[in-house]
Amino acid sequence: MADEQDGGGPKPSAVEVAKTASNYLRGDIAKELVDGAPGFGKGSIQLLKNFGTYQQDDREQRKSREGAKSIREISFMIRTCVPGGKLTAAQLLAAIDMGDEIGNGTIRLTTRQSIQHHGVVKGDLKEFMQKVHTNQMTTLAACGDVERNIMCCPAPIHGDSVRDQMQAKLDELAIHLAPRTRAYYEIWLTDPETGEKERVAGGPEVIEPIYGPTYLPRKFKTAFALPEDNCTDVYANDLGFIVVHDEGRILGYNVVAGGGMGVTPSAAKTFPALAKRLGFVPPEDVLGIAEAIVKVQRDFGNRSDRKVARLKYTIHTMGLDNFRAKVEEYFGKPLAPCHPADVHGFDDHIGWFEQGDGKYFYGFNVENGRIVDRDGFQLKTAIRKILRELSPGVRITAHQSLLFTGLAASDRDRIAEILHAHGVKTSEEISTLRRWSMACVALPTCGLAVAESERVLPGLIDSLEPEVAKLGLSHEAFTVRMTGCPNACARPYNSDIGIVGRTAGKYTLFLGGRLLGDRLNEQYKDVVPFEELCREITAVLACYKAERHGGETLGDFCHRKGIEGVRTWADEWLAGARGHG
């Protein structure tokens, strides 16, 4: 229950108070940036998120400082927006260089097609932002209570005018929903040496026409998808546009709203949700309907309790029909009913493909999105070499991986040669299991992690691979998604197998979602020690192998048989009662 204000009505949350007093996100950031302290004050920490910047510390360093619990080595995670995951070789190279020069020597491709750097210290923040700007990219609205990086299928298939039109629509929408505040330029892009006021074109302050002075009650996420290719997990977003097309022409978009994954287990009022089908719009109304939905969320979202401030809760509280009516009022006309088209395919675009203009693209699986050099595994160096030598176009997928585009047929062997020379496998050499797995960042940087994720999933996959092979399931595609807490940054709640951090070393297992992303899974077992995960999952796979119907997918099988049925079967198998224990 939110606190009441003196005059009645719920008290705005601390973040709302900070935003209200911030003068369009400025607050005290500029002042605190040069105050000599290693970090920022509470209000600025919240405002910084709108500039893609999170104050963090390495949680392992914390532990190792005996008797000095309160001392933390503060550094920053910075997220750069990459709308639709589209960038150039030069931009990715610059991002990798910045990781080496200013960050922790790695970069991270995210589940929403953007890039994260970790380990940037306060004194280097401004230089970092200026480099991002020089690289023609931005961190503005990569995090915070605004529209985040908008997702779209990144596959560069020329001659597929539907995909082209969809990708172009994303670009329009990203510009339309971008915050207009000049705070970003004032704080980060002024030149302290020359005292120059702004490096970029000046002009009068523009009051936020869409967001207003307090922006949105919470983060807001949007994705585009094709019915035949839901590679962006459109139903996990606050707002989704599913293309309706016929013979190469986009007829319009089915609009879905109110998806979101994060839950707080201790707060029963929170839940994961898939977006609900709201209505259909022609292409020229995409910007208008998006703006109307954002504004309804701005005006009716909960501003006192951030746990229930996402659009999914606004819809839950208002009821879908009332929400639709309010959206229609803001939109200025009624919404047509949804077209029957819905998602029915999913492609991660991994592998070698013709792109329709005589050239090729190569979908390269980056395990958990981490671009790093380690002993015997020089992934960062290999990617640098590919980018410098072949100058491909680059796309980031919603599965934390890369597409190298515009390649010649002969580049295929060269890419394999470069990868092998650096101890890296090609996408064709990794298992289907690994290809479809993904983990969130979690420890040591994420302040919300209760368990490991990115650092332990590869090992779990190592142990599962032989079990999957023994069961003859090596070619089955199913999603395994792991997170270090229930906030669900790797979207575990609509996957075939979801593994969600419960407490240190222990996880909740979920089953019954699917690759298609249009069904939530259900809790299968709770508080499972990490060491038990391989056995538990193998038992589920054994059940699937024994009892599936025809080409049924893992998620569909678990859904049909029911969680209880799978559990009983798998437990008997584990106990040896089925002769396999």
What is the C-alpha to C-alpha distance for residues 25 and 339, in angstroms, rounded to an integer? 40
Q: Which of residues 423-442 bind ligand SF4 (CB under 6 A)?
A: 440-442
Q: Which stretch binds ligand SRM (CB under 6 A): 25-33, 38-46, 108-116, 323-331?
A: 108-116
- Determine contact, residues 151/223, Cβ cutoff 8 Å: yes
Give whole-number Cα distances, 50 to 87, 128, 361, in Å: 22, 16, 34
Confirm whether 326 is a catalytic residue: no
Q: Which stretch binds ligand SF4 (CB under 6 A): 147-155, 238-246, 482-490, 558-566?
A: 482-490
Q: Which stretch binds ligand SF4 (CB under 6 A): 179-187, 243-251, 447-455, 520-528?
A: 447-455
Q: Which partner in ligand SRM, ligand SF4, none is near 79 (CB below 5 to 8 A by kind)?
A: ligand SRM
Rg of the chain on CA atoms, in Å: 24
Which residue from 133, 491, 502, 525 is in contact with ligand SRM, where contact means CB under 6 A?
Answer: 491
Strand-pair category, 86-88 with 107-109: unpaired
Q: Which of 81, 152, 440, 543 is catalytic?
A: 440
Whichever of 335 and 450 has its CB closer to ligand SRM, that residue is 450
Minimum gap (Å) between residue 334 Cβ and ligand SRM: 29
Beta bridge partners of 255: 241, 279
Minimum gap (Å) between residue 222 Cβ and ligand SF4: 19
Confirm whether 219 is a catalytic residue: yes
Confirm whether 440 is a catalytic residue: yes
Q: Which of 19, 26, 49, 79 is catalytic?
A: 79
Which residue from 239, 256, 419, 441 is in contact with ligand SRM, where contact means CB under 6 A?
Answer: 441
- Determine contact, residues 483/456, Cβ cutoff 8 Å: no
What is the C-alpha to C-alpha distance for residues 475 and 480, in angstroms, rounded to an integer? 14
109 binds ligand SF4 (CB under 6 A): no
Confirm whether 489 is a catalytic residue: yes
Q: Which of residues 300-359 bind ligand SRM (CB under 6 A)?
A: 310
The first and second tokens of residue 371, run together, are 């671009």
Q: Which stretch binds ligand SRM (CB under 6 A): 60-68, 110-118, 181-189, 350-358?
A: 110-118
Q: Which of 112, 148, 380, 384 is catalytic?
A: 148
What is the C-alpha to C-alpha distance for residues 72 and 89, in angstroms, rounded to an integer? 36
Q: Which partner in ligand SRM, ligand SF4, none is near 485 (CB below 5 to 8 A by kind)?
A: ligand SF4
At residue 9's C-alpha, the angle toward residues 8 and 13, to 5°, is 120
55 binds ligand SF4 (CB under 6 A): no
Minimum gap (Å) between residue 264 Cβ and ligand SF4: 11
446 binds ligand SF4 (CB under 6 A): yes
Beta bridge partners of 430: none
- Enumerate residues 6+ apart whose C-beta is below 8 A from 328: 292, 334, 335
What is the C-alpha to C-alpha distance for residues 237 and 221, in angstroms, rounded to an integer? 5
What is the C-alpha to C-alpha distance for residues 227 and 224, in angstroms, rounded to an integer? 10
Which residue from 449, 457, 460, 473 is in contact with ligand SF4, where contact means CB under 6 A?
Answer: 449
Neighbouring CB atoms inside 10 A of 391's CB total 15
Minimum gap (Å) between residue 16 Cβ and ligand SRM: 14
Confirm whether 446 is a catalytic residue: yes
DSSP 190: S
Q: Which of residues 361-380 bind ligand SRM (CB under 6 A)?
A: 369
The 3-class SS string of 330-369 reads: HHCCCCECCCCCCCCCCCCCCEEEECCCCCEEEEECCHHH
- Determine contact, residues 290/239, Cβ cutoff 8 Å: yes
Which secondary-structure segment (H or E) carries 500?
Answer: strand 497-503
Cis peptide before 10 (omega within 30 of 0): no
Binding mask 61-100 for ligand SF4 (x = CB under 6 A): ----------------------------------------
Minimum gap (Å) between residue 76 Cβ and ligand SRM: 10
Known catalytic residues?
79, 148, 219, 221, 440, 446, 485, 489
